[in-house]
C-alpha cells in the first residue's frame, strides 16, 4: 500500500498458538470458539503482524514478533515457526537487517519484542537490527526491567538488555511525534506503557493498534485478554480508541488476527464495532 511518500507492508513476525482462554479472559469458550476454533490443547492460531514503513529516507519497523531464540521445547509449546520469521519476511521483500534504521516497539512482551534481539554466530545476544534506533515508551521500559515478580514471565530480559548495552535505545514520554507524520499514541491498559502508532498522510491515516485490539473478535469492550495489567482501564479505553479510529476513518492494523491484517471500523449497535472491507494483506 502506498500513502503519500510512504510504502506500507505488513510483515509476519511468525505464527503461533496461544491458549484460547487466556486470549479471551472471562468470555465463555462457547462464544469465542465459534470464531477461533481451538486445537486439542485449547490453543488458537495467532499471527504476529508487524508493520514495515518506507519513505525513501527512513525504513521503519513497528514491532518485531517473537524472534528466533527459542529452544525446541518452547517452539513445540507455542507451535512457533522455524528460524527467524521476521528476517525471512524482510529478505523476501529485498531487505536485510542492516536496512532497518528505526524499530518502534508498541510494548515489550515476547511476541512483540522478542525479535528485537538475536544470537550471533558466537551465541552472544545482540540487537537484531544493528543500525536501528529502538523507540519505546519510558514507562514501558521501566516496568519491563523492574523485575516485578508478578510480571517476570512477561518481559524476558534477553529481549531487552542487549538493546541498552548496545546504546540503541531511545525513550519517549507520552504522545510524541517520532518522525514527520508518524507519532506515538499512549494506549495503556494491556500494559502501563503500551502505545499504538499512527501514520497520518493527506490521503489516509493508519493506526497500528497492537494489543489494544488484537483480533477482530476483540472489537467488543468486554472481550479482553487475561493478560491485561489493568483490565478496567482496557475496558474503558478500548471503546474510546476504536471510536476515534472509526469516527476519523482511519485504517486499523490488527497485530494478531490470523486472517485479517487491517480494515476500516464502523460503529455497530449490536457488536459495538465491525470491520468494513477487511484486508488480508497490505
Put the strands of the sheet holding 133-137 in their side by side order.
Answer: 2-3, 6-12, 49-54, 59-62, 102-104, 133-137, 169-172
- Strand residue runs (E) in the chain: 2-3, 6-12, 16-19, 43-46, 49-54, 59-62, 102-104, 117-119, 125-127, 133-137, 169-172, 176-179, 182-186, 195-200, 205-208, 251-253, 262-268, 272-279
Nearest to 235 by CA among 247, 249, 246, 219: 219
Max Cα–Cα distance, the chain, nearest Å? 57
CATH number at residue 80: 3.60.15.10
Query: 20 pLDDT band (50/70/90 cuts)?
Result: very high
Q: Is the pLDDT of residue 202 over 90?
A: no
Number of domains in the chain: 1
Region 230-251: mean pLDDT is: 97
Q: Is the pLDDT of residue 281 over 90?
A: no
pLDDT at res. 8: 97
Q: Is the pLDDT of residue 121 over 90?
A: yes
pTM of the model: 0.96
138-169 pLDDT, tens per residue? 999 999 999 999 998 899 999 999 999 999 99
Residue 112: give the domain boundaries: 2-279
Region 21-44: mean pLDDT is: 97
Amino acid at each position: 500500500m502506498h500513502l503519500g511518500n510512504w510504502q506500507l507492508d505488513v510483515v509476519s513476525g511468525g505464527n503461533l498458538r496461544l491458549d484460547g482462554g487466556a486470549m479471551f479472559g472471562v468470555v465463555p469458550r462457547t462464544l469465542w470458539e465459534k470464531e477461533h476454533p481451538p486445537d486439542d490443547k485449547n490453543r488458537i492460531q495467532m499471527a504476529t503482524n508487524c508493520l514495515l514503513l518506507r519513505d525513501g529516507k527512513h525504513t521503519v519497523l513497528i514491532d518485531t514478533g517473537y524472534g528466533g531464540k527459542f529452544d525446541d521445547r518452547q517452539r513445540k509449546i507455542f507451535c512457533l515457526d522455524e528460524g527467524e520469521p521476521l528476517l525471512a519476511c524482510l529478505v523476501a521483500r529485498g531487505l536485510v537487517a542492516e536496512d532497518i534504521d528505526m524499530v518502534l516497539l508498541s510494548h515489550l512482551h515476547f511476541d512483540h519484542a522478542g525479535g528485537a534481539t538475536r544470537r550471533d554466530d558466537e551465541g552472544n545476544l545482540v540487537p537484531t537490527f544493528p543500525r536501528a534506533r529502538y523507540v519505546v515508551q519510558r514507562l514501558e521500559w521501566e516496568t519491563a526491567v523492574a523485575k516485578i515478580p508478578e510480571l517476570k514471565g512477561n518481559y524476558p530480559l534477553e529481549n531487552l538488555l542487549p538493546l541498552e548495552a548496545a546504546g540503541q535505545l531511545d525513550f519517549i514520554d507520552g504522545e510524541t511525534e517520532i518522525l514527520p507524520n508518524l507519532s506515538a499514541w499512549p494506549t495503556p491498559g494491556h500494559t502501563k506503557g503500551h502505545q499504538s502508532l499512527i501514520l497520518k498522510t493527506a490521503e489516509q491515516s493508519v493506526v497500528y493498534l497492537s494489543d489494544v485490539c488484537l483480533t477482530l473478535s476483540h472489537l467488543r469492550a468486554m472481550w479482553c485478554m487475561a493478560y491485561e495489567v489493568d483490565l478496567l482501564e482496557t475496558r474503558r479505553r478500548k471503546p474510546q480508541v476504536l471510536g476515534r479510529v472509526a469516527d476519523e476513518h482511519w485504517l486499523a492494523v490488527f497485530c494478531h488476527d490470523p486472517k485479517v491484517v487491517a480494515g476500516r471500523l464502523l460503529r455497530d449497535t449490536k457488536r459495538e464495532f465491525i470491520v468494513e472491507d477487511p484486508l488480508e494483506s497490505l
